[in-house]
Structure 1
Amino acid sequence: MIRLSRRELLAGSAALAVTGTPSFAEETNLRALGLAEPAFNVDAELNIPDLTGAVHQLEDYRGKTVVVSFWATWCPPCRKEMPTLARLGRELGTDDYAVLAVNVGDRQDKIEAFLEQIDHEGMAILLDNKKDMPSKWFLRGLPVTYIVDANGKVALGAIGERVWDAPEMIEGIRSVGQTS
């Protein structure tokens, strides 16, 4: 396992330690994007509502590659990357992919006020009002994003802000969908 310093994690140069199975070329490209296979166990579980109250579970997305991004309205990097997640969701489409933006701990009125200011069409906004997700998904800061393959296994993760709709990022996420 590769150990990363706090500075490396915050800089986003290498998101999480790689233990992985991708080919060397894929691994290098994914690492350059700040995506890596988690070297720790993630309890990939959801049982939380969206803004309308409909409860989402990860099993609902079985067969799809799912981008699960954890964020908060008080987090400047989270606020900055949210529109790129929405554009990613629109670019990938909903047939084989889903983008879920899980807010950790904010009140719904505060979330809705923030969403009125940004482009957010293309992703589901979920509410973790009870703050259950940090312990289940190994969150030690925000934003944190995981890519879950079609079988429900956490394939990749990233700590810190990313430009999710960059062509290289879209290609990297699609490569996860092709290998699962």
Structure 2
Amino acid sequence: MIRKIRPALACVLLAVGLAAHAAAPTNPSPKAGDIPPQILGKDREGNVVDLASQRGKIVIVTFWASWCGPCRKELPILGHLQKVIGHDALQVYAVNLKEPRNDFAAIARSRTAPPLDYIHDAKGVVSDEYGIQAIPHMFIIGHDGRIARVHRGYSEQSLPEIVQDILALLPEDVRNRQAGG
């Protein structure tokens, strides 16, 4: 009897170990100073989004989902920053994390959706490359294409620090111009 249990137990333990390994991101999350993975997938028009094409701007890549309350609070703030600062100096990409296309589209196409560039990562390819384990998870990328700051989670208390991190990276002429410039 014990001989039969041991192989069965070993199979169960192996299956659990393989499932845990498969569920974990294969890459560590990039940190400040790193150059992040450059391809974010395709935008809603089907164009490949390549961060290399955004060099010279501040770029925010944030991972979110429709069921994530903190994400749903963060996105309008980022949309407002995008509108006030302008696309010439700031580009925000909101990467949807592993949701069915209908759930993603309901938010991204909503008339009340923040004015952001939305990317659907249904299979988690991009989120795995970025090592995403929890959301919201934001990367602020500087003019040089390197990650300047990483923010995990969102709270009203963290908002001033996030905004300050973004503003500190903007050139003085952008910080001092009229909103939406």
Query: Structure 2 length as normaliser, TM-score?
Result: 0.67
The question of whether the paired residues in 2 share the 8 Å contact of 1:44 and 1:153 is answered with no
* Residue matched to 1:172: 165
Greater Rg, structure 1 or structure 2? 2
* Residue matched to 2:56: 63
Q: Which amino acid aligns with 2:53?
A: D
Structure 2: unaligned runs, 5 residues or longer: 1-29, 173-181
**3-state SS of paired residue (1:74):** coil
Q: Which has the larger helix fraction?
A: 2
* Residue matched to 1:92: 85
Instruction: Find the partner of 2:41 among 45, 48, 54.
Output: 48
Q: Does residue 120 of the first structure (1) align with residue 118 of the second (2)?
A: no
Q: Which amino acid aligns with 2:114?
A: H
1:104-141 deviation digits (Å, cap 9, x = unpaired): 112222112123163311x2001112211223212120
The question of whether the paired residues in 1 share the 8 Å contact of 2:61 and 2:95 is answered with yes
Q: Which amino acid aligns with 1:38?
A: K
Q: Does residue 77 of the first structure (1) align with residue 89 of the second (2)?
A: no
What is the deviation of 1:160?
Answer: 0.5
CA distance in 1, matches of 2:153, 2:125: 20
1:6-32 deviation digits (Å, cap 9, x = unpaired): xxxxxxxxxxxxxxxxxxxxxxxxxxx
The question of whether the paired residues in 1 share the 8 Å contact of 2:63 and 2:136 is answered with yes
**3-state SS of paired residue (1:67):** strand
Instruction: Find the partner of 1:130 among 123, 126, 141.
Output: 123
* Residue matched to 2:146: 153
What is the deviation of 1:74?
Answer: 1.8
1:61-116 deviation digits (Å, cap 9, x = unpaired): 11111011101112121122211111111112111110110111122221121231
**3-state SS of paired residue (1:119):** coil
1:116-170 deviation digits (Å, cap 9, x = unpaired): 163311x20011122112232121201100001111101101000155xx66643
CA distance in 2, matches of 1:134, 1:173: 22
Structure 1: unaligned runs, 5 residues or longer: 1-36
**3-state SS of paired residue (2:170):** helix
Corresponding residue pairs, total: 142
- Percent identity, please: 29
Query: Structure 1 length as normaliser, TM-score?
Result: 0.68
**CA 1:51/1:162 → structure 2, altered by over 3 Å: closer, same or farther?**
farther
Q: Which amino acid aligns with 1:145?
A: M
The question of whether the paired residues in 2 share the 8 Å contact of 1:70 and 1:143 is answered with yes
Q: Which amino acid aligns with 2:90?
A: Y
Q: Which amino acid aligns with 1:118?
A: T
